[in-house]
Structure 1
Amino acid sequence: MGSGSTGLKKMKQLVRSMMLGALFCATMVMFVPQAQAAGDATEKGSVTNLPLPRYVSMKAAEGNVRRGPSLTHRIDWVFTRRDMPLRITAEHGHWRRVQDRDGQGGWVHYSLLSGTRTVIIEQDMMTLRTRPDPTAPVTAALEAGVVARLGECDVEWCRLNAGGFKGWAPKARLWGVGAQEIRD
């Protein structure tokens, strides 16, 4: 009876360990999405230690977009718009994998990028207002595709500067700023 009960005891310990492991994994799965939903950045760039993804803009008037992070990789296309907002999704040495508002992207040398924040207007004839209020007086109307410099942002509105016009715009009508992003 000694060897049979020892085997049963070991089996119970193994089952208990597996149950505790499953409970731990289930608990971790429950906590990770909550942190992401709260807007906490969980991923950091391996080179800069800055959050990923994050937004930047094109510093240069022209920049090659490559298939991989080196000069030996093929150029897939060329970005030709200075100040265009881009989203960095990965880092490798001096290279950043970027995406434009259409989700197209590739690898760009970091020297072609700027930390200056810009956005693209997503709605045609979007109005800029004097205050972050839909009833505030209009200062300008911007066409879809206009690139504007990004200023402060609250939960729903961002202050923009485009073509000498300044004002507030609804964040939901802009590409180049996070939905939960607050800027001073």
Structure 2
Amino acid sequence: MTITSALRIGRTMLAAALALSCACGQPARAADDDSGPFWASLRKDQANMRVGPGRDYRISWIYVRGGVPVKVLRAREGWVLVEDQDGARGWMLTQFVTRKVHTGVVKGGPAEIRENKDGSGRLLWRAAPGVVGRLGDCAGGWCKVDIDGRQGFVSQTAMWGAGAP
């Protein structure tokens, strides 16, 4: 066997190995990524955001308030890549987030909480920036909100976590 023949066989084996590894890895990535971006809330009062998807990666943020909304960008082997309302991105264990509770946080200035689902009716109160509320259905640019047991309707644009992620 010549050196040229050995190189061709080596290249062929390498190409086959790469094709096989790509073919085997693709379904796992597709299954992880098919959750797409979605809203979630922090499940625990303390949650670590890491720079990578593993416990060996450094912690970039420690959240100390449960219920805070996050945008889940993708999932990977028990970890989710999240973004918070300030734009910070990092990885969290899936056990720290839940899709069952949909919350939003008041952004910008104070948000007016109104009596009716179309934003009409009397002003019930104003919620300060940073206040977290449990969101209900959103329609016509207004969302039902429950903040510590007080309910009303808030403009979808006033809440980070409302609308499409």
TM-score by length of 1: 0.68
Alignment of 1:125 with 2:110, yes or no, is yes
Are 2:138 and 2:163, in contact at CA under 8 Å, matched by a contact in 1?
Answer: no
Are 1:55 and 1:117, in contact at CA under 8 Å, matched by a contact in 2?
Answer: yes
Alignment of 1:85-124 (within 5 A): 85-115=69-99, 116-124=101-109
User: How far apart, in 2, do the equivalents of 1:124 and 1:165 lie?
Assistant: 19
Alignment of 1:65-84 (within 5 A): 65-84=49-68
Are 2:33 and 2:74, in contact at CA under 8 Å, matched by a contact in 1?
Answer: no
59 and 45 in structure 1: CA distance in 2 versus 1, 3 angstrom threshold: farther
Quick one: which of 122, 126, 130 aligns to 1:145? 130
- Runs (4 or more) in structure 1 with deviation over 3 Å come to none
130 and 150 in structure 1: CA distance in 2 versus 1, 3 angstrom threshold: same
Which is strand-richer, 1 or 2? 2
Q: Paired residue for 2:18?
A: none
The one-letter amino acid paired with 1:163 is D
Quick one: which of 127, 136, 144 aligns to 1:159? 144
User: How far apart, in 2, do the equivalents of 1:150 and 1:68 lie?
Assistant: 30
Bigger radius of gyration, 1 or 2?
Answer: 1
Provide the aligned length of Structure 1 versus Structure 2: 136
Percent identity between matched residues is 26
For 2:57, what is the secondary structure of its paired residue?
Answer: coil
Alignment of 1:1-12 (within 5 A): none
Superposition CA RMSD, Å: 1.9
Q: RCO higher in 1 or 2 (8 Å CA, sep ≥ 6)?
A: 2
Structure 2: 5+ residue runs without aligned partners?
1-28
Alignment of 1:170-181 (within 5 A): 170-179=155-164
Q: Paired residue for 2:46?
A: 62
The one-letter amino acid paired with 1:165 is R
64 and 141 in structure 1: CA distance in 2 versus 1, 3 angstrom threshold: same
The Cα offsets for residues 111-141 of structure 1, whole Å up to 9 and x where unpaired, read as 0111110000114332211112343112221
